[in-house]
Structure 1
Amino acid sequence: MASEGFFKYQLAIFVSMYVGYMTYMYDRRSFTYAFPALIEEGFDKSQLGLIVTSQTTAYAVSKFLGGVLSDKISAKILFASGLFVSGLVVLVLPLCNDVMMFTALWFMCGLAQGCGWPSCAKVLRQWWNPAQFGTWWSILSTSQNVSGSVAPLVAAFLITNFGWRYSLQLPGVISLGLAAVAVLFVVDKPSDVGLENIVKDTTQKSKKGDADTVQSESTWKDLLKSPFLWLLCIGYLIVYASKTAASDWGQLYVIQELGGSQYLGSAFISSVETGGVIGSVIAGYLTDWLVRRKKSRGDTSDSSPRMIGVLIFVGVVFTLFHALVYIVNKDSSEVLITGVGFCIGLCLYGAICIFGVVASECAPTHLSGTSHAFVALAANLGGMLAGLPLAYVAKHYNWSGVFLLIETLNLGYAVILLFMLNISSVMVPLKKKHE
């Protein structure tokens, strides 16, 4: 009965976060779906660009702060608060008609959006044991892909039949309702409802004879001293830059250098995203199997078996980008081009999933949100580097030069990881304090 009760809590929590994060994603993109209608009302591209930039800037900052805050306050309250504020913004925004007001409100939405995933990561780690953590993390991460597929169609229907303002107000009301659901059904950790915690709480000291374990005294400064954290940050930066390059510039490469049609360019991007959904789930299941296998063999080393998955994915990514530059050409079939895109998305999103899981589970519980915040910050930096800097590379060396650079970076990281695969993944080792 105890296990059945535990499962019911897990189910309620997971469904609440899955649907809630789908709504987070709808809110984040809801205004961009209305851009064609806004252009018809007289807004120009530079004004819309200002509005979009305000949100992306705020989100880059708030995702880092959200990770740190998830270690300081209730993850449930953080998740619900972000969803509530996001919903309130998209509910109020249609009442305005001024560019500066749009920009200010969308900036506020970006700040609220950073509360979403860090709080999900914190709750997941508390409710699922290490042998299941990766699988459930990967399944939850598909909520953004599902939202990205469904939301544009819903928005198009609402805009066509009721106008762009209604297309924002409806998800705004839904967000407010789901924020209340999150408060009722999301629970920070099992002990909050009288169940036994899965993960040891490192904010508490456990006495062993004349010594106390004092991992609870560790801070974010101790995390920064961890070579393993920096290994994650470098890898996440390279992989996220690769993903952004494939998503943002892959279409232009197919059209401009392979001579493909607009349809084929769009199909390539769609194949990357589709592969990403499958890659995330595979990565979670595969690395959970590696964790169980290590435990069954009685391996007591401090290295993370999940990094084997990263090595495999990054190694395949290098091969795929090499194929994209040197094997795929103007005479290649659409099946080959989209197939390469699918495999690129599968491997890149798979590696991204693993980086997030490892960053959360290898830090002390009271610093897991902060640890994830650091690697997420590195990922955001990679996304930014994949923008204007890679466009500059493309200007001088064409898009094939961009993907050759991406190929080289992934090969370099795979070699580094191969030699550092047995590095300790314990970011903050236990210290003992004698009384």
Structure 2
Amino acid sequence: MKESSSLKKWRTITYLSIFTGWGLYMLVRKTLPSSMQSLIQHNIYTKDNIGMITSSFSLAYGLSKFTFSFVSDHVSPRRLFISGLLLTSFCCILFPVCNGVAMACVVWFIAGVVQGCGWAPCVILLKTWYSPSQIGTWWSILSAAGNIASALSPLIILYITTMSDWTVSYYLIGIITFVLGCVMVYTIKDSPEEIGIRSAFIQTKEKAAKSSKKEGNWYSVFMIFDLWVVALIYASVYLVNYGVLGWMQLFLVEVAKKSDAMAAASVSVYQVGGMVGNITTGYVSDLLLVKRARLCPRAPVLCLLSLLLVVATHLYRTSAGEDTPEIPWSVITFSVGFLADGMIAIIGLCGMEVAPQHMTGSAHGFVCAIAQFGSVLAGWPLAYVMGQYSWSTAYWLMELVSVSMVIGCLYLLWVMMRSREPVGGTKKH
């Protein structure tokens, strides 16, 4: 069936809008990690204070992302996405006027809640506008929007803080997010049907509801053991990713004795690696998909990434230093970003693939919620280890976590092998 020009036009406009919108969500989210060094240098917050604020955000975001995964099935994804974006911009503008740690935790907690409105609508819109055979690639490219925003964030904030006060960066990013969010009211469409076009691959709500009644209830996701394994792997990846990324600038300045500019550049290199990893692993996992496997068809790619991530995190811990040449250090930083974000790009898909069809949204929300506890641990708990022991101890613990990921991924590989159907298509009994 040939697609109409109107369908292609609005699909492109909608995709570019959510791509920009998701980038803005991430840009606001990264304002705190990117301004961490300035906040500490100006004695506004201590390292423990920032750990508490980031943990409050991560806890709220995890619970919110899980909740809105269910809500998104019953409300307009466009309205949910834009509402969250506008409220996120208000939190960004309010943060500089916070008087004390408690108020900052509350504002950033609220920011975590409304940030949960971002990704679930994106998933719904992708499944609505693209065929199943295209989702893996477009999913990865959309995820890369977050990497682009995260790569630009430290450079933007460093430039603004050198030219003006740190608060200006929050106000500017908040206002830009609000203005573009208002524009997206007119550029995002919930489905082709909204503009009078019928798409052959859209699953109707009646069909989905019928499938749901036939196969079980939403809370059945809690009873799927394989889904718990995926969720724990996801949480481990988040701990490593945010443990490295969230504290990178401070780590490089305090421990490796790098300049502020070099530390900010390293964060950008990490994010560029993450962007490339997002797109590459999504595309490669589509190409290497084990089509005869009913469960975890992306497990081989996931296993390879987890093994390489163990090596990369070890090199990151042992190679940081004042005398480390810039090029080898950039390669290591790029590699950690590539592998960590590469795993994040496809682990969410793995969660959807081990669950029944009618539970894909709930399954994705569940694994994302558990994953956020990894980022919670990367906040205040990791800051506590750094303060009580050392930076090296904290990163050594992350190495152990990355080893546990390999064990989980090998289990998923076993699940995949067990679920493969014979070439003839008939199963042995």
Q: TM-score, normalised by structure 2?
A: 0.79
**Aligned twin of 1:381:** 373
What is the alpha-carbon distance in structure 1 between the residues aligned to residue 341 and residue 229 of structure 2?
Answer: 18
C-alpha offsets along residues 111-170 of structure 1, whole Å, 9 cap, x if unaligned? Answer: 211111221122112222222211111111121222223234444555565655554444
Q: CA deviation at 1:283?
A: 0.8
Amino acid at match of 1:405: L
* Unpaired segments ≥5 residues, structure 1: 207-211, 426-435
C-alpha offsets along residues 153-210 of structure 1, whole Å, 9 cap, x if unaligned? Answer: 444555565655554444333333333333322223333333225243464279xxxx
Amino acid at match of 1:22: G
Amino acid at match of 1:84: L
Q: Which residue of 240, 243, 255 corresponds with 1:242?
A: 240
Q: CA deviation at 1:282?
A: 0.5
Q: Which moved more, 1:75-84 or 1:154-163?
A: 154-163
- The 8 Å contact of residues 26 and 146 in structure 2, kept in 1 or not, is answered as yes
**Aligned twin of 1:174:** 176
**Aligned twin of 1:79:** 81
- The 8 Å contact of residues 205 and 214 in structure 1, kept in 2 or not, is answered as yes
Correspondences of 1:309-324 after superposition (within 5 Å): 309-321=301-313
**Aligned twin of 1:262:** 258
Q: Which moved more, 1:154-163 or 1:351-360?
A: 154-163
**Aligned twin of 2:425:** none
Q: Which residue of 401, 413, 426 corresponds with 1:418?
A: 413
Matched, 1:195 2:198: yes
Amino acid at match of 1:66: F
- The 8 Å contact of residues 133 and 357 in structure 1, kept in 2 or not, is answered as no
Question: For the structure 1 residues 368 and 150, does the alpha-carbon distance in structure 2 shift closer, same or farther, using more than 3 Å as the test?
Answer: same
* Unpaired segments ≥5 residues, structure 2: 421-429
What is the alpha-carbon distance in structure 2 between the residues aligned to residue 251 and residue 367 of structure 1?
Answer: 40
**Aligned twin of 1:226:** 224
**Aligned twin of 2:286:** 288
Amino acid at match of 2:24: T
Q: Which moved more, 1:121-130 or 1:245-254?
A: 245-254
- The 8 Å contact of residues 390 and 402 in structure 1, kept in 2 or not, is answered as no
User: How many correspondences in the alignment?
Assistant: 411
Question: For the structure 1 residues 35 and 314, does the alpha-carbon distance in structure 2 shift closer, same or farther, using more than 3 Å as the test?
Answer: closer
What is the alpha-carbon distance in structure 1 between the residues aligned to residue 175 and residue 324 of structure 2?
Answer: 48
Q: Which residue of 341, 345, 350 corresponds with 2:337?
A: 345
Matched, 1:406 2:407: no
CA RMSD of aligned residues (A): 4.0
- The 8 Å contact of residues 203 and 366 in structure 1, kept in 2 or not, is answered as no
**Aligned twin of 1:145:** 147
What is the alpha-carbon distance in structure 1 between the residues aligned to residue 112 and residue 279 of structure 2?
Answer: 27
- The 8 Å contact of residues 37 and 164 in structure 1, kept in 2 or not, is answered as yes
C-alpha offsets along residues 282-303 of structure 1, whole Å, 9 cap, x if unaligned? Answer: 0111112234x73xxxx4x413
Q: Which moved more, 1:365-374 or 1:64-73?
A: 365-374
- The 8 Å contact of residues 315 and 414 in structure 1, kept in 2 or not, is answered as no
What is the alpha-carbon distance in structure 2 between the residues aligned to residue 304 and residue 200 of structure 1?
Answer: 23
Q: CA deviation at 1:56?
A: 3.8
1:204 alignment partner, SS class: helix
What is the alpha-carbon distance in structure 1 between the residues aligned to residue 38 and residue 385 of structure 2?
Answer: 32
Question: For the structure 1 residues 111 and 184, does the alpha-carbon distance in structure 2 shift closer, same or farther, using more than 3 Å as the test?
Answer: same
Q: CA deviation at 1:245?
A: 3.5
- The 8 Å contact of residues 37 and 250 in structure 2, kept in 1 or not, is answered as no
Q: CA deviation at 1:81?
A: 0.6
Amino acid at match of 2:3: A
Q: CA deviation at 1:361?
A: 5.9
What is the alpha-carbon distance in structure 1 between the residues aligned to residue 6 and residue 325 of structure 2?
Answer: 53
- The 8 Å contact of residues 325 and 403 in structure 1, kept in 2 or not, is answered as no
Q: CA deviation at 1:251?
A: 7.4
- The 8 Å contact of residues 80 and 121 in structure 2, kept in 1 or not, is answered as yes
- The 8 Å contact of residues 33 and 246 in structure 2, kept in 1 or not, is answered as no
Q: TM-score, normalised by structure 1?
A: 0.78
Question: For the structure 1 residues 251 and 86, does the alpha-carbon distance in structure 2 shift closer, same or farther, using more than 3 Å as the test?
Answer: closer
**Aligned twin of 1:10:** 11
Q: CA deviation at 1:79?
A: 0.2
Amino acid at match of 1:358: C
**Aligned twin of 1:130:** 132
- The 8 Å contact of residues 216 and 366 in structure 1, kept in 2 or not, is answered as no
What is the alpha-carbon distance in structure 1 between the residues aligned to residue 314 and residue 328 of structure 2?
Answer: 14
Q: CA deviation at 1:376?
A: 1.0
Correspondences of 1:60-99 after superposition (within 5 Å): 60-91=62-93, 96=97, 98-99=99-100
Q: CA deviation at 1:260?
A: 4.7
Amino acid at match of 1:262: K
What is the alpha-carbon distance in structure 1 between the residues aligned to residue 170 and residue 399 of structure 2?
Answer: 41
Amino acid at match of 1:312: L
Amino acid at match of 2:405: N
Identical-pair percentage? 27
**Aligned twin of 1:58:** 60
What is the alpha-carbon distance in structure 1 between the residues aligned to residue 174 and residue 161 of structure 2?
Answer: 15
2:288 alignment partner, SS class: helix
What is the alpha-carbon distance in structure 1 between the residues aligned to residue 402 and residue 29 of structure 2?
Answer: 31
Q: CA deviation at 1:278?
A: 0.9
